[in-house]
Chains A and B, each alone.
Chain A
């Protein structure tokens, strides 16, 4: 018993120590950052640090937004509501899902927790997938930024938007045909709690007599948001760090030498979009800076593939879905984007 108590005090001290450390850092940040040891760090690592922090700080508000929406869905949207609004036919549900994805202005960071929550609430897997790939591209902010970045070349804009719409439905349909028999592709812990959920609902009926007050609801929403932030945040931070390494150390002139061929340049730009992990709102400007060396088709591949799938996103997907599903999803998205871009620019345009 004593031992247990000692452990508790130790843990409290650990937390307080951390808080103290943060406060010291906050107050003396300037002195620390101008000290000789820090100054001796090579410039390249300074750049990694700058890019890493900037990705983290930029993505965090959107992650928070995503987890709040997810928490609100958890608290206020019932399984029945979702069932009621979805068409019964699995394939018929794909098109409205893509349209809805276009209305929801969520970027690729925020969409992951929302989709996961919706799937847990009983939305079919393939419909969730359509959301996942459509929402980050088909949204007004992305439309505007792409328009400005490629204002002399509207083909890029319309190809991007058109492909995102069509391909999201296609990807949803393909994944539906693969996973029709096993719709539960969320990680097992999630499935377990889904199973235990029903038991709890029965139990909760008894509690219903004491209706949850507004206060407890708000409190629970906040709790949910925190828990989910810590669940997703670690993957975001890891992904951001690796992306920052690539941003600093990957020699871009290397890409340009590979980029001359139609097929290889499309592939290279897709790999590049994956590694850079840019926000879909800003990637058009980066793509336009490559305009000199790359073909339209490879730029469109960059702009369509990046928001659907990138490094930081992959980490988050592996956290929530079974590995088999994530790999199937990645392969499907890669093939569908690659071939449809080639077909669009090779045969149609």
Chain B
């Protein structure tokens, strides 16, 4: 068997670790890390950055030690980790590690574009809150579903406004019921129960109704979408201003376009697409993937039998891509 050149492998590994650290550092410094990772995950990224530098330096120092260094380690289990095999395999293995670093530096950092949006399928409004219910009532026609849901949404709000205490009690009762159903060993549901959730959106809806127009920002994007879905009726006729990249489904009319955003939970792989339907005579002037700012009036639209919020008589203008192209859940 050939001698395993411990110090050479330690050195190469150390360099690769430092390479990873540099890649992460570069992305953080340029701010382009937002194209890959959601801000909530950043503490983990800083942890990785520090760890890579530390391990890289440790590894480079390890490479300067004599080969008999191994005798001093107290655990005697190092052999299994060695990167062995013929030369081409070793080169292959190290290339796998070098590849993401080189790609990361040499490719431009960019957000996903409308081709990905087309593939993933766009969700009008805040897909999150509506679709689970649609799946449940599979037998009804989708239009009916959308309507019952809408009614439920508004009636819940009304129920709350009429008699908050009773409404909360009934909610509490229903959530208790589901607790009994599944006696899991988890108690965490107590932290996140439905009362808190509904109250949050009712309050937000009230706040939004007080403003003279709905301003959609990166921070409140998903919340506003949810509120519009739940209480669309209350918002009809209200002015709204929203930005996103232009996107069209193949069956769109000439005057229709969507202002779309990618929403990211942890990383780009889990990004999903949200969009607001816009109707405007100017719509055809904007190519897909152009960033647009649209302002107009909220109406109830209908897309493939699904009730969606839409913006009519919109004034559209082209804008620069925002610093943070993604939107994130607000918790």
Interface residues of A (CB under 8 A from B): 8, 11-12, 14-15, 18-19, 21-23, 25-26, 29-30, 32-34, 38-39, 41, 43-44, 46-47, 49-58, 60-62, 64-65, 68, 74-75, 99, 102, 138, 140, 143-145, 147-154, 156, 158, 161-162, 165, 189-190, 192-193, 196-197, 200, 203-204, 207, 212, 216-217, 219-220, 222-231, 233-234, 237-238, 243-244, 247-248, 250-253, 256, 276-279, 281-283, 285-286, 288-292, 294-296, 299
Contact = CB atoms under 8 A, between A and B. Distances in A.
A161 B186 contact: yes
B115 A43 contact: yes
Contact of A18 (B77, B98, B121, B185): B98
Interface in B79-94: 79-81, 83, 93
Contacts of B19: 18-19, 22
A295 B5 contact: no
Interface of B is mostly: helix
Interface string B90-120: 0001001111111111111111110110011
A286 B272 contact: yes
A230 B102 CA distance: 17
Contacts of A147: 189, 192
Given A15-B15, A18-B16, A158-B178, A33 B107 contact: yes
Given A22-B22, A33-B108, A251 B119 contact: yes
Interface in B23-46: 23-27, 30, 33, 35-37, 41, 44-45
Contacts of B99: 237
B302 to A, nearest CB: 15
B123 interface: yes
B189 A279 contact: no
Contacts of B235: none
Contacts of A253: 119, 121
7 A-B pairs with least C-beta separation:
A291-B131, A153-B132, A227-B81, A54-B268, A25-B105, A58-B267, A61-B44
B202 interface: no
B177 to A, nearest CB: 10
Given A55-B269, A153-B133, A281-B266, A289 B72 contact: no
Interface string B153-175: 00000000000000000000001
Contacts of B100: 52-53, 56, 237
A33 B267 contact: no
B323 interface: no
B317 to A, nearest CB: 25
A157 B97 CA distance: 37
Contact of B182 (A60, A161, A296): A161
Contact of A295 (B13, B45, B135): B135
Contact of B58 (A18, A39, A226, A278): A226
Given A51-B269, A231-B81, A12 B11 contact: yes
A47 B108 CA distance: 11
Nearest to A107: B266
A26 B194 contact: no
A145 B265 CA distance: 9
Given A50-B112, A222-B58, A291-B127, A278 B181 contact: no
B265 A281 contact: yes
A220 B185 contact: no
23 contacts: A11-B11, A15-B11, A19-B19, A25-B22, A33-B108, A43-B115, A57-B45, A58-B267, A68-B51, A140-B186, A193-B79, A207-B74, A222-B54, A237-B96, A247-B269, A250-B119, A276-B269, A278-B270, A281-B265, A282-B269, A289-B121, A291-B132, A292-B135
A220 B73 contact: yes
A64 to B, nearest CB: 5
A281 B12 CA distance: 33
Nearest to B8: A11
B256 interface: no
Contacts of A21: 102
Nearest to A296: B135
B18 interface: yes
B135 A294 contact: yes
A228 B72 contact: no
B270 A282 contact: yes
A242 B136 CA distance: 34
B57 to A, nearest CB: 10
Contacts of A250: 119
A148 to B, nearest CB: 7
Nearest to B76: A200
A69 B268 CA distance: 27
A279 B270 contact: yes
Given A18-B15, A54-B37, A281-B266, A38 B106 contact: yes
A47 B117 CA distance: 11
Interface in B184-219: 184-186, 188-189, 192, 194, 197
Contact of B110 (A50, A150, A225, A283): A50
B59 interface: yes
B81 A230 contact: yes
B136 to A, nearest CB: 6
Contacts of A44: 115
Nearest to A19: B15
